[in-house]
Amino acid sequence: MSQRTQTSPSARSNATFDDPRWAAVVTRDPRADGQFFYAVKTTGIFCRPTCGARTPKPQNVAFYATQDAAEQAGFRPCKRCRPGQPTLDEQRAVLVTSLCRYIEQSEVMPSLDDLAQRAQMSPHHLHRIFKAITGVTPRAYATATRSRRVRNALSHNDTITEAIYAAGYNANGRFYEESDRLLGMTPKHYRNGGAHTSIRFAVGECALGAVLVAASTRGICAITLGDDPDALVRDLQDRFPRAELVGGDTKFEQWIAQVIGFIETPEQGLNLPLDVQGTAFQQRVWYALQEIPVGTTASYTEIAERIGAPRSVRAVAGACAANTLAVAIPCHRVVRNDGGLSGYRWGVERKRALIEREAAATAAS
């Protein structure tokens, strides 16, 4: 149904009414901004869907996917909505990116007022926009940045005191106050790759192959799946290079039995303490994954919406990929928007098997 064919005005307006883009023009839907442009044949001008100009007659409207296409068809950009300029969303993304760089380069954590002043908007407004784009508050972002800096400094400086100053802390006490939360262990232990930390582990067999369960003193810190039990143990040692890996005792054998039981029949739930280590954002995503009911799936977009960060779909996918607690944090229940399986750290076939098993179990109960 080409726009160039000679058709009657009513046929042309019907074609416009049938086009889902027309509803976005009539409602000036901000979500449509940047998705397409509409041109008005009687004025020779093309606009963004959000343009404040009077809504044109449908029989005079043509839609174009890009600005170039509209210009090639002989239309000029509207002076009011300026289709050539970056959209508001794009301008905000540029702004927030520059604030992130500023936070990363600051010696001390910048205040919200400081950031707002740089952005030339109110602290409240800035806080909202920052969170919408990054998924976390400026404070959480700054904390994550410092955490990364501490990790780096600990691996590049000779003494912990040097590392503390290199990471931008000017008082030892405050560093030690925060380090346990930032690192999940004392700085000395982290620096030593978890030396003197003992991690209990055991490998068992389940319907999905080999399963390794490991626990720190805080709770289960890894559940991994694979074909080769030795490879699973090597991976664990790589993650905690200097921790002392100890075989599980009887109590631990019960834990692994519980995890295997949970993998076989997920609807029974897993009631064991988890030692969840991740950034503030990852933890929010993982919490949302645990809220997905057994036997159902959610898309990355839905999870991003549920944690109040609808634009952080890619970051959500990243957090799913970073999960090291297979099944307990059910990243296997997250699928593409079209229902496709996408990737799984422990193999897409295991993901498929888990989803099918859970769906069958809930259908039967």
Catalytic residues: 47, 331
Q: Record the tokens describing residue 170, joined without a space.
A: 């000017």
Please report whether residue 81 would count as binding Zn ion according to CB under 5 A: yes
Angle at which helices 138-156 and 172-183 cross, to 10°: 100
Burial of 121 (0-12, 13-18, 19+ CB in 10 A): middle
CB of 199 within 8 A of CB of 221?
A: yes
Task: Select 31 or 80, whichever has its Cβ closest to Zn ion.
Answer: 80
Task: Select 54 or 251, whichever has its Cβ closest to Zn ion.
Answer: 54
> Cα–Cα–Cα angle for 47, 81, 46, nearest 5°?
20
Half-sphere exposure of 63 (CA within 13 A, CB side): 21
Please report whether residue 292 would count as binding Zn ion according to CB under 5 A: no
Residues 124-153 that bind Zn ion (CB under 5 A): none
Q: Record the tokens describing residue 220, joined without a space.
A: 């289960």
Helix (H) or strand (E) holding 12: helix 9-18
Q: Which of 76, 80, 156, 196 binds Zn ion (CB under 5 A)?
A: 80
Q: Which of 25, 32, 61, 78 binds Zn ion (CB under 5 A)?
A: 78
> Beta strand pairing status for 198-206 and 244-247?
parallel
Please report whether residue 319 would count as binding Zn ion according to CB under 5 A: no
Q: How many residues bind Zn ion (CB under 5 A)?
A: 6
In the complex, the smallest distance separating the C-beta of residue 64 from Zn ion, rounded to whole angstroms, is 13
In the complex, the smallest distance separating the C-beta of residue 362 from Zn ion, rounded to whole angstroms, is 51
Amino acid at 58: P
In the complex, the smallest distance separating the C-beta of residue 89 from Zn ion, rounded to whole angstroms, is 17
Residues 220-239 that bind Zn ion (CB under 5 A): none
Report how far residue 267's alpha carbon sits from residue 290's, in angstroms, rounded to the nearest whole number: 12
CB of 294 within 8 A of CB of 277?
A: no
Query: 193, 191, 104, 197: which is closest to 154 by C-alpha?
Result: 191
CB of 278 within 8 A of CB of 325?
A: no
Scanning 52-60, 103-111, 246-254, 261-269 for contacts with Zn ion by CB under 5 A, the matching segment is 52-60
Task: Select 43 or 192, whichever has its Cβ closest to Zn ion.
Answer: 43
Please report whether residue 314 would count as binding Zn ion according to CB under 5 A: no
Q: Record the tokens describing residue 52, joined without a space.
A: 């404040």
Task: Select 80 or 196, whichever has its Cβ closest to Zn ion.
Answer: 80
In the complex, the smallest distance separating the C-beta of residue 74 from Zn ion, rounded to whole angstroms, is 17
Q: Which of 25, 39, 40, 51 binds Zn ion (CB under 5 A)?
A: 51
Task: Select 89 or 305, whichever has its Cβ closest to Zn ion.
Answer: 89
Task: Select 78 or 103, whichever has its Cβ closest to Zn ion.
Answer: 78
In the complex, the smallest distance separating the C-beta of residue 85 from Zn ion, rounded to whole angstroms, is 11
Q: Record the tokens describing residue 3, joined without a space.
A: 């726009």
Q: Which residues bind Zn ion (CB under 5 A)?
A: 47, 51, 53, 78, 80-81
